Amino acid sequence: MWQRILWFFGAILVASLFTSSHSLGADLVRYNVSKAYADPKQDYYIAVLRLALNKSRDKYGPYQLSENSFDHTPQGRTLEILEQGKLLDVHWTMTSQQRETQLAAVYVPLLKGMMGARIFLAHKDILPKLDQLHSPAQLMDLFIGSGIDWPDTKIYEKNGFIVVTSVATLLPRMLEEKRFELFPRALHEPWAELPNLEGVVVEPRFAFCYPTAMYFFVNKQNTRLKARLTYGLQKAIDDGSFDRLFASHPITRDAIKLGKFNERQTLKLQNPELSARTRDVLMNARYVWAPLHRCLSTT
């Protein structure tokens, strides 16, 4: 009888150890979302992250997604937390040479280059002024609002614009107060922001276009996660599931429909923050939304 009891508890112990080791073997992937500033765009990036992790199960096994929240944390500070590698494992953000030096980029554009397709939020009171413009080059005479730690700010400044900067959370209020005239937003960004802005509209005729990419970034020491995400994203592109998600997710689907990028007069900007690696990535049609090819062709 004692032998049976010992065998029973031994079996439980072995099962427990197996379950524990299996759980410990799962890749922990911690990401940041804001609770104080609910952002529907986050749903798209989380969906892409989950797609990449699911597609890589065959090679890398199970994973565990964990949501952390760093509210009121500027973009630059979030990347510092990721660089420290203690609280975050991955973050999605627009690339720059500095960010690709600071962290390890997964070189698959999450928005197929759409981050560089920019339309404008503007206060309705300046629409008569905008109606007098006949060319997107005349936008150079207007004041631009941009985040103090955004790579876009350096792009606008290097292209000769006068840029009013602040922390990201204050920019919508500054636009309402007419402290600048145009607030460039990536094609997928303004639609969820408009309902919360008083007297603000989407400018209907013009756009900026510049080469850039939205990437997953990981800590440089986390070579396994970088390899896993690269493998999963490439596999999703190969089997078409990435493009199906891009075409069907409400964030990107509605951006394409509402933004009407093909109908706009577009001003091409140079991106001095573009790395050689990202330039090469954006030259590959596999990674780029088709309407952007004309924008990237001369870069």
Determine the distance from the C-alpha atom of residue 11 to the mean position of all C-alpha atoms in its chain, rounded to a whole number: 48
pLDDT for res 35: 67
**Chain-centroid distance, C-alpha 201:** 23
Q: What is the pLDDT of residue 13?
A: 38
Check pLDDT > 80 for residue 3: no
pLDDT 10s digits, 129-142:
999 999 999 999 99
pLDDT digits (tens, 9 = 90+) for 197-256: 999 999 999 999 999 999 999 999 999 999 999 999 999 999 999 999 999 999 999 999
Domain ranges of the chain: 27-112+212-296, 115-209
Cα dihedral 285, 287, 291, 297 sign = negative
Name which residue leads in pLDDT, 40 or 148: 148
**Count of residues for the chain?**
299
What secondary structure letter does DSSP report for 181? Answer: S
Is 174's pLDDT higher than 80?
Answer: yes
**Do 115-209 and 27-112+212-296 have the same topology in CATH?**
yes
Q: What is the average pLDDT across 272-292?
A: 95
What is the average pLDDT across 156-174?
A: 96
Confidence of residue 296 (pLDDT cuts 50, 70, 90): confident
Exposed, middle or buried by CB within 10 Å (0-12, 13-18, 19+), for 128? exposed
Question: Is the pLDDT confidence value at 101 over 80?
Answer: yes
Closest CA to 237 of 107, 96, 65, 116: 107
In percent, how much of the chain has pLDDT > 70?
A: 89
Rounded Cα gap, residues 203 and 33, in angstroms: 29
pTM score: 0.87
CATH 3.40.50.970 fits 27-112+212-296, yes or no: no
Question: In terms of DSSP bridges, do strands 63-68 and 27-32 run parallel, antiparallel, or are they unpaired?
Answer: parallel
Share of the chain above pLDDT 90, in %: 81
Mean pLDDT of 109-127: 97
- Evaluate if residue 69 carries a pLDDT over 90: no
Compute CA 191 distance to the chain's CA centroid, rounded to the nearest angstrom.
16
- Please tell me the class of the 115-209 domain: alpha beta
Note the maximum CA span of the chain.
95
In the structure, what pLDDT confidence band is assigned to residue 8 with cuts at 50, 70 and 90?
Answer: very low
Residue 2 CA to residue 130 CA, distance in Å, equals 88
Is residue 11 very low, low, confident or very high in pLDDT (cuts 50, 70, 90)?
very low
Weakest mean pLDDT among 63-72, 142-151, 174-183, 278-287: 63-72
Q: What's 182's DSSP letter?
A: B
Average pLDDT in the chain:
89
pLDDT value of residue 6: 40
Residue 209's φ and ψ, nearest 5 degrees, are: -145, 125
Check whether 62 has a pLDDT greater than 70: yes
| Res 37: pLDDT | 64
